[in-house]
Structure 1
Amino acid sequence: MQDPDDLTARDAAPPDPPRRDFLSLLISTGFALAVQPVAASTLNTDTTGLEADTVAIPVGAALLPAYRAQPAGAKRPLPVVLVVQEIFGVHEHIQDLCRRLAKAGYLAIAPELYFRQGDPRRYDSVSELLAQLVAKVPDAQVMTDLDATAAWAVAHGGDARRLAVTGFCWGGRIVWLYAAHNPRLAAGVAWYGRLSGELTPNAPRQPVEVAAALKVPVLGLYGGRDKGIPLESVERMRALLKQAGGRSDIVVYPDADHGFNADYRPSYHPAAARDGWARMLDWFARHGVKP
């Protein structure tokens, strides 16, 4: 395996772009239109003791906007967690999750992975969002953008040897794919990400196709009542992971639905969300990604 320190020397991103370009890339606060109104259970993590802002990451000729949160004044380098968005983009819930990770001692960064195709916050229908935007985002583009985000994080105070990824819904699927793509990761945690489905030019492989190719251990967190991710596909993935050596694992919460960690939605399941969050932090720590 390549030395993780090479990430800093060879792949470190250039300096941040000028402020005038930065302002045009700001990730707005608030929730996506497609999830309005938000539930009363919505959590709000403050920025006390944190540095939390929007950054711009050069990716070729483009500038990738991302939300970054980390402990203020902490000794560097910091462990890094790449946070992969839901279908709704880096809206308020994903930003809040970054702040929660920062409170736990991580440099958490969530890149806006649809930025070339459009703004997911402006769609007021999930079906339109999926058909008109999400389906147009190539997996290969996402892998490259996550690579650039990891390089930026390492160049800005992150530790190349303590690099993890987590993702939710659409981002949960991406976690499995990225764990098969990037050997520099130490661990991944996938929250209710689709495991199988139609193969397309933009999505030529699904997680079940990469189970044997995972380069790092992944913990999958799934809901037993998730109608969009049948338990049959979860059990199939579990069997494939076992055949591949058993470094990865899957936990199913029988009474939880899809999106059980999404506190701003009716699907929120507080007990499963709390347990999943604790398991995620423990998984990172067990694989060397801890403050």
Structure 2
Amino acid sequence: MERIHAEAQCLLSPLNPTLTRRIFAMTTLASGFALSTLPVSAQTITTPADGLAAGEVAIPVADGSLPAYRAKPAGQGPFPIILVIQEIFGVHEYIKDVCRRFAREGYLAVAPEMFARQGNAAAYTDTAKLIADIVSKVPDAQVMADLDAAVAWAAGQDGGDASRLGVTGFCWGGRATWLYAAHSPDVKAGVAWYGRLATPATALQTMVPVELTDRIKAPVLGLYGEKDGGIPVEDVEKMRAALAAAGKTESHIHLYPEGPHGFHADYRPSYRPEMAADGWKRCLEWFRANGVAGKAG
């Protein structure tokens, strides 16, 4: 845990000008669903919080305080930790519900609001403007430091067991899952849901998953759709080849035939119940098989 604290402080030090702005655009989480995803589907899953300790928390980081959603069993810990990394729409109701689903499996699940410095993604009605105004301005270094801080907080103050650390994310968070598995030696396993693999680097987003396979420190399961309009099968095959070339045979990518982007997002038209259920089952089994065991592990 000392390493996590030290690296987070280094990334957010005055020597890193990208991450020194101390005015947070968000000090609390948005409520409900992101406006750009409305109307909400009738198939939306709602997981109750009874029997859980669930709600908004504040995670200290070097330049302020990061709002986050945390859910865990109400009983005695320590609990294995799952970092839940948001889509481009921020930590809205869907991501909060995913945290509660993990908590019901015996995990402490925490979803930090990764865009808190840049703005409230859930308030945007236009996705293209959201990407231009907020998503494109979030540095990879900031993301890695904030995830380190979330782990340190969960293990240091909230009854989490950092020796059983998993990470999962959706869309934007799927890419970040691959990156964090390459960044942190503390991760035991990752599950990346349809995250971009080969999108070219930018000045702020310098990390490209397909170029980092030799640095991946834990087994990662990738869950992708064959008909994803933003992630072609060609990119999936490039990632598979890169993993094989790097000798990362413990990682695996499952490609769903006819699967669209966002097939797990039960609040959107892209939702595919059978694929989502299968992916969730694979996700839980992956964590249990790789040292991040919940209540059934």
TM-score (norm 2): 0.90
In 2: Cα distance, 1:236 partner to 1:169 partner: 18
Contact 2:36 2:125 in 1 (8 A): yes
| 1:172-197 CA-partner distances (Å, limit 9, x unpaired) | 00000110000011010000000011
% identical aligned pairs: 56
Question: Structure 2: which 5+ residue stretches go unaligned?
Answer: 10-25
Q: How do 1:180-191 residues align onto structure 2 when only pairs under 5 Å count?
A: 180-191=182-193
The match for 2:267 is 264
| 1:74-127 CA-partner distances (Å, limit 9, x unpaired) | x31100000000000000000000000000100000000000011001110100
The match for 2:83 is 82
| 1:37-95 CA-partner distances (Å, limit 9, x unpaired) | 1111111000011010111111013101100000012x311000000000000000000
In 2: Cα distance, 1:132 partner to 1:9 partner: 30
Question: Structure 1: which 5+ residue stretches go unaligned?
Answer: 14-23
Runs of 4+ aligned residues of structure 1 deviating over 3 Å after TM superposition are 5-13
User: What letter is aligned with 1:157?
Assistant: G
Contact 1:12 1:152 in 2 (8 A): no
Q: How do 1:83-98 residues align onto structure 2 when only pairs under 5 Å count?
A: 83-98=84-99
User: What letter is aligned with 1:183?
Assistant: P
Equivalent in 201, 204, 224 of residue 202 of structure 1: 204
| 1:151-170 CA-partner distances (Å, limit 9, x unpaired) | 00101200011001000000
RMSD: 1.7
The match for 1:160 is 162
Q: How do 1:42-121 residues align onto structure 2 when only pairs under 5 Å count?
A: 42-73=44-75, 75-121=76-122
In 2: Cα distance, 1:248 partner to 1:7 partner: 25
**CA-CA distance at 1:198 after TM superposition:** 2.2
**CA-CA distance at 1:275 after TM superposition:** 0.6
Contact 2:8 2:148 in 1 (8 A): no
The match for 2:289 is 286
In 1: Cα distance, 2:165 partner to 2:113 partner: 19
User: What letter is aligned with 2:284?
Assistant: L
Label 1:9 to 1:26 Cα distance change in 2 as closer, same or farther (>3 A). Answer: closer
Contact 2:71 2:103 in 1 (8 A): yes
The match for 1:17 is none
The match for 1:21 is none
